[in-house]
Amino acid sequence: MTHEATAAAQPFVMDTAFWTATTIFLLAYAVIVSEKIHKTIIAIFGAGLMLVLKILEQHEAFHVEEFGVDWNVIFLLISMMVIINLMRPTGVFEYIAIKSAKWGKGDPFRILAIFAIVTAILSAFLDNVTTVLLIVPVTILIAEALEVDPLPYLISCALASNIGGTATLIGDPPNIMIASKAQLDFMDFIYHLSPVIIITMVFYVFAIKLIWGKKLKTKEELKKRIMAMNENEAIKDSVMLKKSLAVLAMVLTGFVFHGMLHYQPATVALFGAGLLLLLSKTHEPHHILADVEWPTIFFFMGLFIIIGGVVKVGLIKWMSVQVLELTQGNLLATSMVVMWFSAFASAFIDNIPYVATMNPLIVDMAKQLWPDLSGIQLLHHADLMPLWWSLALGACLGGNGTAIGASANVIVVGMSEKAGKRISFGKFMLYGMPMMIMTVVIATIYVWLRYYVLKI
């Protein structure tokens, strides 16, 4: 509650600090979009500027959730990466991916569709970044085997992971933050978000059929390369596999019951990572830890601080308030504006700090609408609930809009570049933006129909 209070009490003036922070923010984003300098370097440098120019105090950047690094997200990401790094040598992910490709019987489009569905399901339970890290290498290999363009597989992997990640509390960081702010638990997300994501995935598979279905052609003899692959050869360490699956099951169970047990998701993940490290009996945690995607982690940390700066000077709040004023207290209109504004905002800025800004704003608005209520009664007010879901849907699905809209996209673009298949900002947007609009339209209809017409 103290966070909302500080946000509300924050005086808003367009002073030197406002313009300095806004300039750093815009320049940082311009350079990230231009791809002239590595994004992580810009994020770290921009964060450094925010601190050196005293837009943010170091204490705020490091220790205040509202303005600085969200360690829950950082530790959740690092811990899940450690768990996955320990699981990876067992071969379980290669097994799943090769099995999926064989289900597709070597047909390039069927494989694309199956990979999209597998990616969506995996990223609903694992972090999106982790999921694409596990799926992308196999998809490139499969594309090579079939001698087809890997681009559809790469882009579809990012898009499907963002759609799938929207389905659960743990699927995507914005959901984690919304859950904690609005005190929603795992089952709330399953009940309210999973249905619309399943519907969206059906439309998504039809959409990729339209876009890529005809272009993906291969020869019969190349299909044999896929069918000749034996997924059982993937399993390298069945003892460690059993330990990993047990810990993963425990972690997922922990996520399901985290609200009830009053644990943050990062606590669950960190404990799981520690336990699996212990069970692995490794004497050299060095390479497991070194394999954490540090550039991504530092990109997150730098961005948190840059956005913290513009949150502090009031830029993001100003922008959001403009949008909220448009709706004049009409909650259906507000839901729609929140969803669409969130989608476009998340397409260009990180949805994590964006959601961190929108969360207190929604709470503030609720306080104005129902001044007599507080706590759960306020946060879970029947008329407020659709706003939380609109925010989650907009912020998560919006990530598909551009190459920097979601961390999964950033990872996919990075991995593709390493593999010599560069995906430019424009190229990603060409597919991502229409797909984002399609999915948000579906979400709009869902929210309107379920919460304002059928009221269920």
Partner 1 sequence: MKARNLMIPLQEYLKPDTTLKEAANILRTAKRDEEKLGVKGLPVLDASGKMVGFLSMGDILKAVFPSYMSLMNLGDFTWDGMVEDMAKKARDKKVSEMMTTKVISVNEDAYLMECVDHMIKNNVKRLPVIGKDGRVTGILYERDVFFAITKAMLDENTGGGK
Q: Which residues bind partner 1 (CB under 8 A)?
A: 88-89, 91, 93-94, 98, 133-134, 136-138, 140-141, 144-145, 225, 228-230, 233-234, 236, 415, 418-420
Closer residue to partner 1 in complex, CB, 88/258 = 88
State how far the Cα of 415 lies from the Cα of 405, in Å rounded to an integer. 16
Closer residue to partner 1 in complex, CB, 5/228 = 228
Residue in 88, 134, 182, 138 with CA at minimum distance from that of residue 375: 182
State how far the Cα of 375 lies from the Cα of 35, in Å rounded to an integer. 44
Closer residue to partner 1 in complex, CB, 248/397 = 248
Closer residue to partner 1 in complex, CB, 291/364 = 291
- Tell me how far, at minimum, the Cβ of 421 lies from partner 1, in Å: 9
Torsion (CA) 161, 167, 172, 177 in degrees, nearest 10: 170
- Tell me how far, at minimum, the Cβ of 232 lies from partner 1, in Å: 9
- Tell me how far, at minimum, the Cβ of 220 lies from partner 1, in Å: 14
Closer residue to partner 1 in complex, CB, 54/224 = 224
- Tell me how far, at minimum, the Cβ of 233 lies from partner 1, in Å: 4
Tokens of 204: 């998504």
Number of helices and strands (H, E) in the chain? Answer: 24, 0
Torsion (CA) 107, 112, 115, 119 in degrees, nearest 10: 180
- Tell me how far, at minimum, the Cβ of 108 lies from partner 1, in Å: 16
- Tell me how far, at minimum, the Cβ of 236 lies from partner 1, in Å: 7
Tokens of 354: 């964006």
Residue in 362, 451, 363, 355 with CA at minimum distance from that of residue 397: 355
Tokens of 209: 């059929």
Tokens of 436: 């984002």
- Tell me how far, at minimum, the Cβ of 88 lies from partner 1, in Å: 7
Closer residue to partner 1 in complex, CB, 144/325 = 144
Closer residue to partner 1 in complex, CB, 209/236 = 236
Closer residue to partner 1 in complex, CB, 140/184 = 140
b/e map 65-76, b = 16+ CB within 10 Å? bbbbbbbbbbbb
**Cβ contacts of 262 within 8 Å, gap of 6 or more:** none
Place of tokens 């730098």: 302
- The DSSP 8-state label assigned to residue 449 in this structure reads I
Number of other residues whose CB lies within 10 A of the CB of residue 165: 31
Single-letter amino acid code for the residue at 189: F
- Tell me how far, at minimum, the Cβ of 223 lies from partner 1, in Å: 11
Helix (H) or strand (E) holding 444: helix 425-447
